[in-house]
Amino acid sequence: MSYEEKIKILLNQGLIKRQKIDYPHIEALLFRAKKDLFVARSTLEIDEEATYNYAYLAMLRCGRAILFLKGYRSTDGQQHKTIIELSGEILGKGFKNLIKKFDRMRRKRNQFTYDPFLPVSKIEAETEVDSRGQIFIIDSYIF
């Protein structure tokens, strides 16, 4: 399926809508994503779930920035899934493995958010913070 077909489907399903491109908003999202990564690294010794959550938020904010850059925003429903899916389409095949990691992270975060008996290990949290450094690659790609 082509990028254009994917956009058409998501628009028809009401999962995205057109958004005026606002560069200061995009820059603010990327700045906040970098800050989230800093917080994630800072909390690793205290709370693995907080670390994981902040690493996830960094990824999500970058995904939103990518969509905004193309003139779209996710809407009600499965916003996080839509952001990951569409940002993967926008970034292309070179980012396929990173997008898969992001989607696994989304599912894991959802599980531990609603199931207090599903812990996040320190190694898992540390791995995600380290791999979120790839956000800077995405940041460079955007600007």
* Residue 135 and residue 33 in contact, taking contact as beta carbons nearer than 8 Å: yes
The answer to whether the beta carbons of residues 22 and 98 sit under 8 Å apart is: no
Six-digit token string for 86: 């569409």
Supply the DSSP symbol for 15: S
pLDDT, tens digit only, all 143 positions of the chain: 788 899 999 999 999 999 999 999 999 999 999 999 889 888 888 888 888 889 899 999 999 999 999 999 999 778 999 999 999 999 999 989 889 988 988 888 888 778 777 667 677 777 766 665 554 444 555 44
Rounded to the nearest 5°, which phi and psi values hold at 81? -65, -45
Could you tell me the pTM of the whole model? 0.82
Query: Is residue 109 classed exposed, middle or buried when 0-12, 13-18 and 19+ CB atoms within 10 A define those classes?
Result: buried
Question: What are the extents of the domains in the chain?
Answer: 3-142
**Class of the domain covering 3-142:** mainly alpha
